[in-house]
Structure 1
Amino acid sequence: MGEKQGSNNHSHCFDPFISPNPITSFNPVQRFPKINETAFISQFSSVIGDVTISDNVYVAPNVSIRADEGTPFYIGSNSNIQDGVILHGLLTKKIAVGTKRYSIFIGNEVTIAHGALVHGPCYIADKVFVGFNAIVYTAIVGKGAFISYNAVVTNGVRIPPDRFVPPGANIDSQEKADALSPVPKDSKEFAHEVQRVNQEFPASYHLLFGKNRCSCGVAYDQY
């Protein structure tokens, strides 16, 4: 791993903004994003603070991944964070994952679709689909769950694995979460196809823009 500085071989107008968190009374240590070299962070997106982005992750344009309050964040392999998504967390609340504690933990092969808000503390397991303009806040979402567009999952609920949150639903109690139906076949197929498409983007965009892209003169760790 090493710090990467801004390159002059292309226009910085098309770079993401990648930086450490600002020093504050509640986060007095600057921590830099850790971004796998195979991941791709698109134009006009922000990655700030103690954020780990794993291999073959695709971050689309106009995404805000901001670990300047709640921290750290983790995004697992082959996940995609689509246009307009916001990731942020509360200062004092975290989720335990193994021996570590996270503000936001996103597993492998997760889709966070256009315009969604994921606000910590939350845990999103592998192969979850979070739909357009959905909100996940203070929640644990089990493996393979499907959260439809405009749905809200909050209030400390645990969504069981492979459950379907209908469009516009407000899942704010464990009773509601436990009553959810299994994910329908067509939704599973849709989530799988979205994953297939988005897993091709990191390598393809690296070819399009060049692999040594980084923020406008701000350092981060590459691994």
Structure 2
Amino acid sequence: MEQIKGSDPSSFNHSPCCFEPYISPSPITSFNPVPQEPQIDKTAFISQFSSVIGGATIRNNVFVAPNVSIRADEGTPFYIGSNTNLQDGVILHGLLNKWISDGKNKFSIFIGNGVTIAHRALIHGPCSIGDDVFVGFSAIVYNAIVGKGAFISNNAVVTNSVRIPPNRFVPPGAHIDSQAKANALAKVPKDDKEFAHEVQRVNQEFPASYHLLFGKNRCSCGFAFN
């Protein structure tokens, strides 16, 4: 195990850590022969127990909680916009050579600004999630486009190339797998909209707070040291 230069294991504030990086380029494969490096804004916070691999762009003030997997090693690139939060256990992955286009660029996964992806949700490309969307606990979004301000409830599934119109409410446990179902969705109720805003408010404080907590004395796995 390689020791970090200038550190003394006996001075750790926590039990000794693995020293292994959790942010890495994509591996060289026949389908992606050129390694891609994650591009992460310095104000974003990535938990020491999460991983970011390959061609992922993470913008300012993004919060990535523990046990999140952002794996752009097959489908690529990923984009995660400003002030978005990915909560514990979220998985991002994409299919090879399947993209969503904004007219100028192609993305395996595109996540806009101010988005909440709640605990254990699966976001699988190709897909696009607009600004201010809320994706609930254990929900699945795959092969879909979700419009701005939509609310996807707990355990819901959105798939099969559907487009969720802006500000629409996907009920708990619903399977939205046709455009007819997507078009029939009601507007987001006031209580759910307020809930999504409050979750956003709380999570936008975490990146700066966690950076302050760990400070500069931090090894590659995130544990603090003197």
Task: State the TM-score, normalized to the length of structure 1.
Answer: 0.90
Q: Aligned to 2:69, which of 58, 64, 70?
A: 64
- 1:126, CA displacement in angstroms? 0.1
Cα RMSD after superposing both structures: 1.7
Q: Aligned to 1:36, which of 21, 36, 41?
A: 41
Question: Does 2:136 correspond to 1:120?
Answer: no
Greater relative contact order, per chain length (Cα 8 Å cut-off, separation 6+):
1
Paired residues for 1:174-185 under 5 Å = 174-185=179-190
Q: Aligned to 1:75, which of 70, 77, 80?
A: 80
Structure 1 stretches of 4+ moved >3 Å: 6-16, 211-216
Aligned counterpart, 1:134:
139
2:46 maps to a residue whose letter is I
Helix, strand or coil at the partner of 2:209: helix
CA–CA separation in structure 2 for the residues paired with 1:63 and 1:133? 13
**1:121-168 CA distance string (max 9 Å, x none):** 000000000000000000000000000000000000000000000000
CA–CA separation in structure 1 for the residues paired with 2:118 and 2:25? 25
2:142 maps to a residue whose letter is Y
Aligned counterpart, 2:224:
none
Aligned counterpart, 2:173:
168
CA–CA separation in structure 2 for the residues paired with 1:67 and 1:15? 19
CA contact (8 A) 1:16 1:44 kept: no
Paired residues for 1:137-148 under 5 Å = 137-148=142-153
1:52 maps to a residue whose letter is T
Sequence identity percentage: 77
Q: Aligned to 1:27, which of 28, 32, 54?
A: 32
- 1:15, CA displacement in angstroms? 7.4
**1:44-68 CA distance string (max 9 Å, x none):** 1010000000000000000000000
Aligned counterpart, 1:219:
none
Helix, strand or coil at the partner of 1:52: strand
CA–CA separation in structure 1 for the residues paired with 2:114 and 2:87? 13
- The answer to which of 146-155 and 204-213 deviates more is 204-213
- 1:210, CA displacement in angstroms? 1.5
Aligned counterpart, 1:221:
none
- 1:215, CA displacement in angstroms? 3.5
CA contact (8 A) 2:113 2:131 kept: yes
CA–CA separation in structure 2 for the residues paired with 1:48 and 1:35? 11
CA contact (8 A) 1:16 1:45 kept: no
CA contact (8 A) 1:47 1:66 kept: yes
CA contact (8 A) 2:19 2:220 kept: no
Q: For structure 2, which runs of at least 5 residues remain unmatched after alignment?
A: 222-226
2:130 maps to a residue whose letter is A
1:203 maps to a residue whose letter is A
2:179 maps to a residue whose letter is Q
Q: 1:83 to 1:7 in 2, by over 3 A?
A: farther
CA–CA separation in structure 2 for the residues paired with 1:55 and 1:87? 18
- 1:13, CA displacement in angstroms? 4.5
